[in-house]
Amino acid sequence: MDGEVMQALTPVQVVALVGVLGVGAQWLAWRFRLPAIVLMLGVGLVVGPVLGWFLPERDLGPIYRPLISVAVAIILFEGGLTLEYHRLGDARPAVKRLVFLGAPLGWALSALVLWLAVGLSWQAAAVFGGVMVVTGPTVIAPMLRQARLWARPAQVLQWEAIVNDPIGVLIAVLLLEIVLVLETGLSMGAAAWLLGSGIGFAALAGWAGGQAMALSFRRGWVPEYMKVPMLFVSVIAIFAITDSVLHETGLLAVTIMGMVLANAKLSSYTELHRFKEQATILLVSGVFVLMAASLDFATLGQLTWRAALFVLFTVALARPLQVLLPLIGTRLPMNERWLIALTGPRGVVMVAVSGIFGDKLVEAGIPDGAALAPLAFIIVLATVIIHGFTLAPLARRLGLSGPERPGLLVVGGSPFAVALAQALERAGVGTLIADTNRQHLIQARHAGVPTYYGDILGEAAEHQVEFIAYPAVLAASDNDAYNTLVATDLGPELGRDAVWQISRVRDQSRHALPAQLGGQRLASCPTFDVLNQRLAEGWTLRSTRLSDEYTFDDWQADRPGAEPLVVVSKAGMLRFHGEDQPVAAQSGDWITAFVPPALSPPQDTAGGDLAAEAADVARQHREKAETGS
């Protein structure tokens, strides 16, 4: 049935449909390891211009554009909220160059491509060239997680995307106002005053709003339960006030406001940021579905072969030059420069802003302004597909991604940690042992196990530990409270199913912790003392690989009394044997288990283990446990 004769949806139905489609697409993307933006754009196109079930202009009417603008403002505020200066580390010089030199250069190159390759008028090319500076932080972040990128290139890409979002919009705003001035006949002096006062007011309002929020939170003028609502209201108010002075400068204001709060060192910053992150996921989902559903295929069809040239020159010429030229003379290695230069996906801000600016150009008598929204969809879709599927292999090729094999971070140096690291090494798992006491790491260093001396939750660890290489964590120090703190803090970041904790010394009902604190517990409930006492008594940790001929039942029959600790699947997933996690091992998986001292080494030869090697490993473990060396 044609979309125009279908009955319009009610606002409630619109909210429900957009929410289900957007969040559902993000879940499917996570489940099947696909770029989320591709699925969100796809479902928006299907329910919108293809089937006509949902057309935003028809079903939402005049509130459609304001909703998009407010959503983009909140997304940019959350992006600014992630800009903590101390997290930049040695990526700071590169980010500065990409912002101060790369952004203007990117605008010039993009405008040139749009003018020569696409055939846009100079007015439309200049305005859209500013929007092309934006690389999309909401798209970059999930790509970086999926590609397991090392910290420094990941930081450069993410910071460039977040900072250039408002800068690209600001460049586009400046060019749009200049074009409108030339078309309406406003004097240059009046135009300069309008632009300068609008931008200056936006910057001042954003800074003042951030300082006011930080002061009120620090002084306790706002109760904890009202902080997030107060932030939302303040962001929307700042955006509305500044946007009324000069259109789209509200995006600059809310980004500055987020940056001020991010560096105010507020005690409740982590909770605020996590909530804003979750809200942003909902808003990004909604905006992408809405914008895709509003696409006009008739306008898209007018671009013909020039759209392909536009994508080609943008990805292969404009983006590499925008990055490589400003980074000349920096200490950034060439492999990192090339990775950054060949990674530039566009995102939600480009799609949203292009539609708004295109409409204004058309109203001003520039007809090819109508091509901005379709071009934005094409470059977003093309770059997300290209970079979404090539970033991970490119990073591996350049040596800038985490290892393919799984990794485990063990917090707490002890004989047990060393024995576990050595046993997992046989299963292809890289292990890092971290401890705040240097003496606790001596044995690990003697055994050749990688170590980190310091607090794993401290700022120094963010720059010195490649967390991307260790997707699983076991908190196993001799301090129960610290184990709980580590598991609670890292749980939201890594996923609570990937964070484990040894049992507390006191775990009776009177001393039991709430379910929201700590990590998952190991099945046999061993404490720190029990784990290390076992090694002193002659128990060993051994890894055995299962096969079609040597099954899990065979393994159990050969090892009476053995206690499975962790299973490493052939797909590279690491699963501890927890209270709610029964042992499930198949052919090709590795089982690491505590083996009692009565079990003779030759019995561990099945499944491909060599008896001599197993005996030697067991002997080394016993000697280390007895001598404490």
Q: Are residues 146 and 37 in the same domain?
A: yes
* Higher pLDDT among residues 451 and 610, named by residue: 451
**Tokens at residue 601, please?**
């080494």
pLDDT reported for residue 271: 66
The whole-angstrom separation of Cα 13 and Cα 16 is 5
State the pLDDT confidence band at 432, using cuts at 50, 70 and 90: very high
Residues 61-113: tens digit of each pLDDT: 788 878 888 887 887 787 777 777 666 666 678 888 888 898 899 999 999 99
pLDDT reported for residue 87: 64
Residues 566-589: tens digit of each pLDDT: 888 887 788 888 766 677 788 888
Q: Are residues 412 and 557 in the same domain?
A: yes
pLDDT reported for residue 503: 80
Fill in the DSSP letter of residue 317: I
Instruction: Over range 156-175, report the average pLDDT.
Output: 79
State the pLDDT confidence band at 323, using cuts at 50, 70 and 90: very high
46: exposed, middle or buried (Cβ count in 10 Å: 0-12, 13-18, 19+): middle
Region of residue 329 (phi > 0: left; psi between -120 and 50: alpha; otherwise: beta): left
State the pLDDT confidence band at 600, using cuts at 50, 70 and 90: very low
* 360 has pLDDT over 50: yes
Tally of structural domains, the chain = 2
Residue ranges in 398-494 assigned as alpha helix (H): 415-426, 442-446, 459-464, 480-494
Here the CATH number for the domain that contains residue 493 is: 3.40.50.720
Here the CATH number for the domain that contains residue 307 is: 1.20.1530.20
Average of per-residue pLDDT values in the chain = 80
Q: Which pairing describes strands 499-501 and 540-545: parallel, antiparallel, or unpaired?
A: unpaired
Residue 173 lies in a domain: yes
The whole-angstrom separation of Cα 315 and Cα 327 is 18
pLDDT reported for residue 324: 94
* Higher pLDDT among residues 129 and 469, named by residue: 129
User: How big, in percent rounded to 5, are the helix, strand and coil portions of the chain?
Assistant: 65, 10, 25
Residue environment code for 84-110, b if the CB has 16+ CB neighbours within 10 A, otherwise e: beebbeebeebbbbbbeebbbbbbebb
Where is the domain boundary, 375, 397, 419? 397
Residue 402 lies in a domain: no
Q: How many CB atoms are closer than 10 A to CB 145?
A: 13
Helix axes of 11-32 and 36-45: crossing angle, nearest 10 degrees = 140
Residue 37 lies in a domain: yes
* Higher pLDDT among residues 619 and 389, named by residue: 389
Q: Are residues 389 and 425 in the same domain?
A: no
Fill in the DSSP letter of residue 7: P
Residues 254-281: tens digit of each pLDDT: 888 988 888 887 777 666 766 666 777 7
Instruction: Over range 545-560, report the average pLDDT.
Output: 87
Where is the domain boundary, 397, 416, 444? 397
* 625 has pLDDT over 90: no
* 212 has pLDDT over 90: yes
Q: Are residues 136 and 155 in the same domain?
A: yes
The whole-angstrom separation of Cα 224 and Cα 261 is 16
Residue 211 belongs to what domain range? Answer: 3-397
pLDDT reported for residue 513: 60
State the pLDDT confidence band at 615, using cuts at 50, 70 and 90: very low
Where is the domain boundary, 397, 427, 443? 397
